[in-house]
Structure 1
Amino acid sequence: MRVAIFDFDRTLFPEETFPLLMKHLKTHPQKYRSFMSRILPIYAAYKCKLYPEQRMREHSMRSYISAFGKVPETEVNQFFSQLGSMMSEKLSEPMLARLQQHREDGYYIMLVSGAFQPLLNSVAAKLPFDEVIGTNFHKKNLQYINGSRKREVVHERLSHMEVDWENSFAYGDSYTDLNVLELVGNPVAVQPEPRLLEVASRRQWEILA
Structure 2
Amino acid sequence: MDRENKIRIAIYDMDKTVTRRATYNGFLMHMAWNKSPWRLLMLPVLPLGLMLYALKIWSRSQLKQFSQSLLIGRKVPRIQFARHLERHADLVLGKNVYQEAKWRIDAEKSDGYRHVIATASYRLYVEAIAAKLGFDDVIATELATDDSGHVLARIDGHNCYDEAKLDRVKAWMAEVGLERNQCHIRAYSDHVSDAPLLSFADEAFATNPHPPLERLARDKGWQILDWRDGDPAT
Superposition TM-score tier, normalisation by shorter sequence: 0.7 to 0.9
Deviation at 1:158, TM superposition (A): 0.5
How has the CA–CA distance of structure 1 residues 161 and 167 changed in structure 2, closer, same or farther, with 3 Å as cutoff? Answer: closer
- Could you list the runs of 5+ residues in structure 1 that have no partner in the other structure? none
d(CA) in 2 for partners of 1:122, 1:78: 12
TM-score, normalised on structure 1?
0.86
Q: Secondary structure at the match of 1:151?
A: helix
Query: Structure 1 stretch 78-87 or stretch 146-155: which is displaced more?
Result: 78-87
CA shift at 1:103, angstroms?
A: 1.3
Runs of 4 or more consecutive aligned structure 1 residues displaced over 6 Å after TM superposition: none
Which of 1 and 2 has greater Rg?
2
| C-alpha contact 1:191 1:208 (8 A) present in aligned 2 | yes
Amino acid of the residue matched to residue 11 of structure 1? T
Whether the 8 Å contact between 2:206 and 2:225 is mirrored in structure 1 is yes
CA separation of 1:61 and 1:81: change in aligned 2, threshold 3 A: farther
Contact 1:151 / 1:180 at 8 angstroms: preserved in 2?
A: yes
Q: Which residue of 1 aligns with 2:92?
A: 87
Q: Distance in 2 between matches of 1:22 and 1:129?
A: 23
CA shift at 1:24, angstroms?
2.5
The two structures have a TM-score, normalised by structure 2, of 0.77
- Write the mapping of 1:1-209 to structure 2, written as runs, cut at 5 A: 1-25=7-31, 27=33, 28-34=36-42, 37=45, 39-47=46-54, 50-51=55-56, 55=59, 57-66=60-69, 67-90=72-95, 91-139=97-145, 140=152, 141-143=154-156, 144-159=159-174, 160-164=177-181, 167-209=184-226
Shift in alpha-carbon separation, 1:174–1:52, aligned structure 2, 3 A:
farther
> Percent identity at matched positions?
23
Matched positions, count: 204
CA contact (8 A) 1:3 1:109 kept: yes
Residue 71 of structure 1, CA deviation = 2.9
Change (3 A) 1:129 1:18: closer
Query: Structure 2, unaligned stretches of length 5 or more?
Result: 1-6, 146-151, 227-234
